[in-house]
Amino acid sequence: MTLIMMRQMQDNQAGIIRTVKASGEMGRRIRDMGLVPGAEIKIRGRAPLYDPVALRVMGFTLTLRNDEADFIEVEVQ
Amino acid sequence: MSEATFALAGNPNSGKTTLFNALTGARQHVGNYPGVTVEKKEGVYVHDGRQLKLVDLPGTYSLTAYSLEEVAAREFLVNEKPAAVIDIVDAANLERNLYLTLQFMEMGVPVIVALNMMDVAAQRGITIDTMKLGQLLGVPVVATVARRGEGKTELLQVAERIVGDGVRHHPLDISYGEDIDLALMEMEQAIRGAGLLTDRYRARWVALKYMETDEQILALGRKANPELSAQLEATVQKVADHLRATLDLYPEAVIADHRYGYIRSILQQGVMGVRHDRDRLYLSDRIDKVLTNRFAGPLIMLAVIWGLYQFTFTYSEVPVAWLGSFFGWLGGLAEAFIPEGLFRSLLVSGVIDGIGGVLGFVPLIMFMFLGISFLEDSGYMARMAYMLDRVFRVFGLHGSSVMAFIVSGGIAGGCAVPGIMATRTLKSPRERLATILTVPFMNCGAKLPVFALLVAAFFASHEAMVMFGITLVSWAGALLVAKLLRSTVIPGEATPFVMELPPYRLPTFKGLLIHTWERTWHYIRKAGTVILGISIVLWALMSFPGLPESVRQQFENQRQAVLAAAPATAKAIENAGGETALEASALDLQGKLALIDAREAEMGLRYSVAGRIGTALESLSRFAGFDWRTNIALVGGFAAKEVVVSTLGTAYSLGDVDPEETGSLANKLAAAPGWRPLTALSLIVFTMFYAPCFVSVVCIAREAGSWKWAAFSVVFNTALAFTLAVVVYQLGSLLGF
């Protein structure tokens, strides 16, 4: 049970979001898309240039940049 | 007949447009929300003598003041007070979709939930108890499958019942935790007491928006009652400080958490059952494994764009040729039946050639839009944004810029006007401005005819390849200019990229047709009005002032001299009346006469206003290989790029003498002196980069918020285009092309 930033997660690694540090519009946009504490996520893969990252949350696929993933702390096994 | 208005709302990709199309069919009207360029679609559903007006709200995930779409949706609900919001919810994606539903309910508008894509949910092993969901949410819930039109009757029955009995609804008040709840209660009382914005919004909702630091509501509040607003903001600040100190969270984050918590608590009360593992790989994911693969993905993307070209050019060839010969025939007909003079000239050179030059390309544009709609509706377009974001960021743009570039003609055939408007989804002013200023470099549907003409005339054997090359050059140019702008006139940091990758779906035929028709109609309408007017103005510029009588007499004398030199042959031509084959001597005589006529027409055009402008510019433009005719066409192209084609058509048909000759402009250009492939290439480059058409310029001014940027784009783009064209032409000439 460890806390890491979303950027550090490997492809296909799963975890539970613990905190979303982003504020303002970025924070709002992240939360609107369902990335809130308690949400289970799984990394689906990365774009051909390794950024953005695609992940699965609440049964759909979302993409965000590594720079944004840096604001999201995830608890992984 | 009573008429009630319903708003159709929902997340992007929830099937909202499909449902809207299923309900209204072809009875649609596309416009704008007042004051903004967000597209507003309206339609009517007639049933049992009742008429329901449906307004398709922009697809949004939330109701913050984050984007213009969300604000437009909010404003519509408050100002137009629809009987209810029909909220389309993706059943396969219930949790996130209900987030928007909750916000409608918090606002206090009556909501009907259309639980869409029940078939997809079932395939994924998701079962939903609609009855129970309705009970727990306190709103009517109807299961639908919009693609097949299932459930639409039930949905409208519910809607009619609401109109009939005015079904009671209760605004939803969620608990956001003790700290926020207490503050909200206090604020709500103060707001109600002072009547702050309560003529339009619920008091609690205003309080909630203050808590979320919603810019739009804060601005309205500050204007209406500065003291109270300051007091409310102080309360919010206190709560915020407390939350930061205790939980290290912002109030808006706590509010979002509680909304999702509320949704989860409902879903867990036996509303939703999931049979499979949620992370299971569905067909869509398996497709993505290939289509967004590190190595295969980009290659497939290039292949898709290439395929789109092949599709468009191969299939549109035949109807394009039909239309071309139809307008040629029409022009020939007019010339044969209307006596020579100003009116015939206006009709043939101004109207028929002008309209024909533009409408002749409608099939091409239709096929292109059909392809683009397919990519959009299937979900592939979002993958392109995903794969290209890293690249776009390098140039100081945003992954979402892809959409604006593609709409503007990134896959050739769009239009910079909606492209510039599409940048509204970009929140960052800097990336947005850079996108606005560079999308006009894309190959819009109006430039396509120009390229298609030149390619057909000079590079006919490599049509698809050259067009593909043109696309790559315009992209490279746009991106490099964006980078230049972002590091000089618009410097600054990058903004967030959070985007859904919707599941792949086979687009519905109806949806594709409606989409394609909308865009094609937009083009035709523009062609039919603006272009016709401009075509006539240009005809006037090219016809007046006419040659002085003395010069005309000189030409007439030349003709008489030629005829007098061979009276027998002249007689033979007159007798033959064009029916029988002529002898060699007669053909020779005709040729001589034609040459004189052409010279007179050319001198006439040179003598006209347009000719004088074109000639004056020739001393400069010859460095790029353009003669005065091309200059006239390019000046006309500022009005709209397709005018380049119609003007060239007018310019060359004015110089033409044979009324039977209705051959295409491409053949005329290929045979015209002074034209060679290098000239065409230089003109292609210039057309690609020079000043946007005036409609785009007006849009740039409005979207960028200043005429300064509009003027900048005209001057900068033209200077850039001219420099590039000169480089191409001079370098090519040196290399012997």
**Mean model confidence pLDDT for chain B:** 84
Instruction: Locate the domains of chain A by residue range.
Output: 2-76
- Residue B91 domain boundaries: 3-165
Nearest-CB residue to A58 (from B93, B257, B386): B93
Residues of A in contact with B386 (CB under 8 A): 47, 52, 54, 63
Q: Do B249 and B150 share a structural domain?
A: no
Q: Which residue has the higher pLDDT, B509 or B427?
A: B509
Distance CA B181, CA B596 (A): 91
Q: Do A32 and B390 count as a contact with CB atoms less than 8 A apart?
A: no
Q: Do B269 and B403 share a structural domain?
A: no
3 state SS for B586-619 = HHHHHHHHHHHHHHHHHHHHHHCHHHHHHHHHHH
- State residue B662's pLDDT score: 36
Q: Given a cut of 70, is residue B136 above it in pLDDT?
A: yes
Q: Do B257 and A49 count as a contact with CB atoms less than 8 A apart?
A: no
Query: Percentage of residues in chain B with pLDDT exceeding 70?
Result: 90
Distance CA B645, CA B630 (A): 10
Domain A2-76, CATH number (from 3.40.1390.10, 2.30.30.90, 3.40.50.2300, 1.20.120.450): 2.30.30.90
* Structural domain includes residue B253: yes
**CATH number, position B213:** 1.10.287.1770
Q: Given a cut of 80, is residue B585 above it in pLDDT?
A: no
Kindly indicate the confidence band of residue A39, based on its pLDDT and cuts at 50, 70 and 90. Answer: very high
CB proximity A48 to B under 8 Å = yes
- State residue B457's pLDDT score: 84
> Of the candidates B135, B165, B195, which is a domain's last residue?
B165
Kindly indicate the confidence band of residue B412, based on its pLDDT and cuts at 50, 70 and 90. Answer: low
Q: Given a cut of 80, is residue B444 above it in pLDDT?
A: yes
pLDDT winner (highest mean) among B23-32, B60-69, B254-263, B608-617: B254-263
Q: Do B206 and B149 share a structural domain?
A: no
Residues of A in contact with B297 (CB under 8 A): 48
- CB-based contact B361:B320 (threshold 8 Å): yes
Query: Percentage of residues in chain B with pLDDT exceeding 90?
Result: 36
Kindly indicate the confidence band of residue B659, based on its pLDDT and cuts at 50, 70 and 90. Answer: very low
CA torsion angle for B154, B159, B163, B165 (degrees, to 10)? 60
- State residue A10's pLDDT score: 93
Q: Do A36 and B93 count as a contact with CB atoms less than 8 A apart?
A: no
Q: Do B64 and B213 share a structural domain?
A: no
Q: Do A60 and B399 count as a contact with CB atoms less than 8 A apart?
A: no
Q: Which residue has the higher pLDDT, B315 or B191?
A: B191
Q: Do B196 and B148 share a structural domain?
A: no
* Structural domain includes residue B572: no
Region B171-200: mean pLDDT is 94
Instruction: Tell me the sheet residues that pair with B116.
Output: B90
**Sequence-distant (≥ 6) Cβ neighbours of residue B20 within 8 angstroms:** B8, B28, B41, B43, B54, B56
Nearest-CB residue to A52 (from B253, B386, B495): B386
* Structural domain includes residue B681: no
Q: Do B193 and B152 share a structural domain?
A: no
- State residue B693's pLDDT score: 84
Residue B581 neighbours by CB distance under 10 Å:
7
Kindly indicate the confidence band of residue B701, based on its pLDDT and cuts at 50, 70 and 90. Answer: confident
Size of interface A-B (CB pairs under 8 A): 136
Region B283-296: mean pLDDT is 90
**CATH number, position B114:** 3.40.50.300
Q: How far apart are the first and last CA of chain B?
A: 71
Q: Do B215 and B160 share a structural domain?
A: no
- State residue B267's pLDDT score: 92
Q: Do B138 and B108 share a structural domain?
A: yes
- CB-based contact A63:B497 (threshold 8 Å): yes
- State residue B23's pLDDT score: 87
Q: Do B305 and B204 share a structural domain?
A: no
Residues of A in contact with B499 (CB under 8 A): 62-64
Q: Do B73 and B206 share a structural domain?
A: no
- The domain total for chain B is 3
Closest-CA distance, A2 to chain B, in angstroms, reads 20
Region B358-372: mean pLDDT is 75
Instruction: Tell me the sheet residues that pair with B40.
Output: B31
